[in-house]
Amino acid sequence: MSIKAVGKYLPISARKGRQVLDIIRGKNAGEALLTMKFLPNRSAKMVYNVLNSAIYNAQNNNDINVEDLYISEAYADEGPTVKRFRPRAMGRASKIRKRTSHITIIVDHKGEGK
């Protein structure tokens, strides 16, 4: 049984989120939480919160222990981009794109999937 958690409209680009997700994909859920705590990336905190939510969903809804969970899927999709303009020299303007992302983590019970 797979349990899913999605963090939407997170203020980080999907590319930066994928760098962190590549580190934890396929790991044990408890080990991945510990790894996220000590990563220096800004996106690690956001991924940590989504992973924590997935673990709590598994514990609360299905009574599954943390030791029995592993991360079966983890991906980051692009969200909407907020566009802003910054004034530049000689009356020009340049674009500033503030990117967002949707981070999805799916945890699975060790007895079933692997």
Decide which of 3.30.465.10, 1.10.3720.10, 3.40.50.300, 3.90.470.10 is the CATH code for 2-109: 3.90.470.10
pLDDT(39) > 80: yes
Q: Return contacts of 32-36, CB within 8 angstroms, 24+ apart.
A: 32/71
Q: What is the pTM of this model?
A: 0.88
What six digits make up the tokens of 78? Answer: 């692009």
Q: Average pLDDT, stretch 102-114? A: 82
Within 10 Å of residue 67's Cβ, how many Cβ atoms?
A: 10
CA distance 45 to 7: 12
Handedness of CA 1, 44, 27, 21 (dihedral sign): positive
CA distance 81 to 69: 34
pLDDT of residue 112: 55
pLDDT of residue 114: 44
Please report, as a single letter, which amino acid is at residue 103.
Answer: I
What six digits make up the tokens of 7? Answer: 């963090």
Instruction: Map out the domains of the chain as residue ranges.
Output: 2-109
- State percent of the chain over pLDDT 90: 86
